[in-house]
Amino acid sequence: MTTPITSPPAWVADAVFYQIFPDRFARSGRVDLGLRLDDWDEPPTITGYKGGDLWGVIDKLDYLAGLGINALWFNPIFQSASNHRYHTHDYFQVDPVLGGNEAFDALIEAAHARSIRVILDGVFNHASRGFFQFSDIAEHQEKSAFADWFRIREFPITPYDEDTPATYDAWWGLHALPVLNTDHEAVREFLWGVGTHWIERGADGWRLDVPNEISTDGFWDEFRSRVRAVNSDAYLVGEIWHEATGWVGADGPFDGVMNYPMTTATIAYGIGNRINEAAIVDNNDYFVTPGLNAGAFADRVDWLMDLYGPNERTAMLNLLDSHDTGRMMSMAGGDAELVILCLAVLFTMPGAPCIYYGTEVGLEGGPDPDCRRGFPWDSMDSHPELTTAVTELIALRHAEAGLRSPDFERIGPVPGPDFGRTYVYARGTGADRVVVAINHADEPDVVPMPANTLALDAVQLWGSASRDADGAVSFPPRSIGIWR
């Protein structure tokens, strides 16, 4: 039976997240392990390391705070034999390549000193063939004391013989990723202990990898209960790519999920049929084509708003791109204006916005591994208009209480000849009410605002749209208007 949850942590509604892929964000020069590293600016490979580390993140915290970032989500940081670290070897050790546990403790202290929260990536569905308990099985086969820790169908197991199918359950059939047997009590206790250990050590929450693939009844309810017993403000967000009514609110264990349905709808509207299809990731739940006009996008947003209650709306993790997708600048074919349209939606919708490292400077990249390039610290000024837009939109979100509220009202598009171009919505109520309007088209638009939508003394907060004395708003091509 699912345990009813309390409200999500209040801080999440005010959070602006920044996702960091640790190997690719910043090198500090402090980790000297004699590593053979790939060149920072060369295209990333599936197996190569570039040598980013947590000390490097600490060095860049002032940069992130300057953008207005107040929460970080890290891709996995635990000891592993992969650059992405979704192949966990030791859940209680930060990878020495990242600086080890010492660097983690220093990161928490430095981030919290700047009022920046830190959430970690929890990979609890599967471990790796380098995980001690699995290595013991490979060594001793059915005589291993840990034989019940994994779902083994037949002995002997041959984890490094990839020419034949694995004889144990493995994520996507990959020999390197044996699936943990969470029906076994010792495994559950181990994983719940990992969850509480890092919260006790200072982490502010967990982003949980493929949680829908753990089917053991009550696993996530107990995980939540134990984590929140350590820190009642810990944020739990699940990687669910589709609608997730069973995972949040009274029916589920999480505060929010990665809001990919909003992601794909935003891209389908903001970039639309101008999208570079070579940059689209092949995922059954990732539908960024065909493009949406304003009416279709408004309908999609209405559907999402109706799925979740007010608490869940503000706790969704909203994003445009990630380590699992093509990058926004590449999907937009290098057109920063289209990226800015999508960013305007990201920062004005209910939920916690999340920027993937480098999006703010126009970092490009196609599907994995290309979306995991090194941050271009030596060429950050290639798209100043994009960096300015990100900084201003973050500041606007921090300044306007209406943009951080759960309140949402669809105002347009208004039926008429230009029904398909401009989308209009409001956030907040009373003195906090903010009106947002976006014309995604390559042509200008004029929108007669409905009565009482914009007061004559409404203050324009951002964007190039302009209103006349009769209340109509003129939109240049690809333009935005935000008013209080």
Distance from chain centroid for Cα 41: 24
Residue 453 pLDDT: 85
Average pLDDT along the chain: 95
Is the pLDDT confidence value at 11 over 50? Answer: yes
Tens digits of residue pLDDT in 381-426: 999 999 999 999 999 999 999 999 999 999 988 555 446 899 999 9
Residue 414 pLDDT: 58
Maximum Cα interatomic distance, the chain, rounded to a whole number of Å: 83
Beta bridge partners of 319: 354
Residue 3 pLDDT: 43
Q: Which tokens sit at 409?
A: 């009202």
Locate tokens 């920062």: which residue? 347
Is the pLDDT confidence value at 20 over 90? Answer: yes
Tens digits of residue pLDDT in 89-118: 999 999 999 999 999 999 999 999 999 999
Q: Which residues contact 146 (CB under 8 A, 6 or more apart)?
A: 133, 134, 136, 137
Is the pLDDT confidence value at 1 over 50? Answer: no
Locate tokens 């390559």: which residue? 442
Identity at 288, one-letter amino acid code: V
How many Cα atoms sit within 13 Å of 119 on the Cβ side? 29
Report the b/e string of 432-466 with b at 16+ CB within 10 A.
Answer: ebbbbbbbbbeeebebebeeebbeeebebbbbebe
Spatial separation of the C-alpha atoms in residues 195 and 91, rounded to whole Å: 10
Instruction: Provide mean pLDDT across the span 42-50.
Output: 97
pLDDT band at 456 (very low <50, low <70, confident <90, very high): confident
Instruction: Provide mean pLDDT across the span 310-315.
Output: 95
Positive or negative torsion for Cα 301, 303, 304, 310: positive
Tens digits of residue pLDDT in 122-141: 999 999 999 999 999 999 99
Tens digits of residue pLDDT in 190-224: 999 999 999 999 999 999 999 999 999 999 999 99
Tens digits of residue pLDDT in 50-85: 999 999 999 999 999 999 999 999 999 999 999 999
Work out the angle at residue 473's Cα, subtended by the Cα atoms of residues 472 and 475, and round it to the nearest 5 degrees: 145
**Model confidence, pTM:** 0.96
Q: What percent of the chain has pLDDT over 70?
A: 98
Instruction: Provide mean pLDDT across the span 140-147.
Output: 98
Tens digits of residue pLDDT in 218-260: 999 999 999 999 999 999 999 999 999 999 988 799 999 999 9
CB 200 within 8 A of CB 229: no
Instruction: Provide mean pLDDT across the span 30-57.
Output: 96
Domains and CATH numbers, the chain: 10-403 (3.20.20.80), 406-483 (2.60.40.1180)
Residue 455 pLDDT: 83
Instruction: Provide mean pLDDT across the span 428-442.
Output: 96
Distance from chain centroid for Cα 64: 16
Tens digits of residue pLDDT in 147-205: 999 999 999 999 999 999 999 999 999 999 999 999 999 999 999 999 999 999 999 99
Spatial separation of the C-alpha atoms in residues 272 and 288, rounded to whole Å: 8
* C-alpha closest to that of 343 among 303, 384, 392, 304: 392
Three-class SS of the chain: CCCCCCCCCHHHHHCCEEEECHHHHCCCCCCCCCCCCCCCCCCCCCCCCCCCCHHHHHHCHHHHHHHCCCEEEECCCEEECCCCCCCEEEEEEECHHHCHHHHHHHHHHHHHHCCCEEEEEECCCECCCCCHHHHHHHHHHHHCCCHHHECECCCCCCCCCCCCCCCECEHHHCCCCEEECCCCHHHHHHHHHHHHHHHHCCCCEEEECCHHHCCCCCHHHHHHHHHHHHCCCCEEEECCCCCCCCCEHHHCCECEEECHHHHHHHHHHHCHHHCCHHHCCCCCCCCCCCCCCHHHHHHHHHHHHHHCCHHHHHHCEEECCCCCCCCHHHHCCCCHHHHHHHHHHHHHCCCEEEEECCHHHCCCCCCCCHHHCCCCHHHCCCCHHHHHHHHHHHHHHHHCHHHHCCCEEECCCCCCCCCCCEEEEEECCHHHCEEEEEECCCCCEEEECCCCCCCCCCCEEEECCEECCCCEEEECCCEEEEEC
Pairing of strands 352-356, 17-20: parallel
**Which residue numbers are catalytic?**
209, 239
